[in-house]
Amino acid sequence: MGQMLIQTRIKFNTHPDTDPNVVSCNDDEIKIVIVSFSQSRLERDNIRATWAKTLPNSVKLIFMIGKHSNTNEVTENVVEENLVETDIDVQDKNFDFKQTLAMLSWLYKNCPRARFVLKTTSDVFINIPKIIELIDQEMFASNRMYGELLRRMGPERQSDSKTHHHSVSIEEWPWR
């Protein structure tokens, strides 16, 4: 039917839309939901103090975080912070992939009217006026993805690499 259905067993421990003062993802005014993957409160505070400081009502910001073994890490006000915590362990080797699936599943259930989703990390500055300008130009487009296309990239297999914890085995991806 042209729909992408995502069903997972991932559990969500927090839900940012429980307070009536917080703009709901179901609001017709929401043009875009920005989902930032961030495991650090300091990084989230930096986002709030910079590009997210004056978000218009048409933009909803959500922070997705994983399950920490140290429960002291997540002591923020859930409503104020717009945190969605999953039950995915941040030490899981497939954490990023599972968090992305969790994000899609959560958005499907909680933000069915969101027309656009921007997935980002906490170290990226988002130019909100430019994003809104792009969205306004694309209001009738569908099934599009924007991002960086990495050509001639291969899997990381070097054990001495700084990104080795993200390495891909030959069994997982046998091609160069």
The amino acid at residue 149 is: L
| Residues 6 or more apart whose Cβ sits within 8 Å of residue 126 | 34, 51, 52, 118, 120
pLDDT given at position 142? 66
Q: Which of 102, 58, 70 is nearest to 83 (CA)?
A: 102
pLDDT given at position 27? 64
Low-confidence ranges of the chain (pLDDT < 50): 18-23, 72-74, 78-79
pTM summary value: 0.69
pLDDT digits (tens, 9 = 90+) for 20-41: 444 456 666 777 888 888 888 8
pLDDT given at position 19? 44
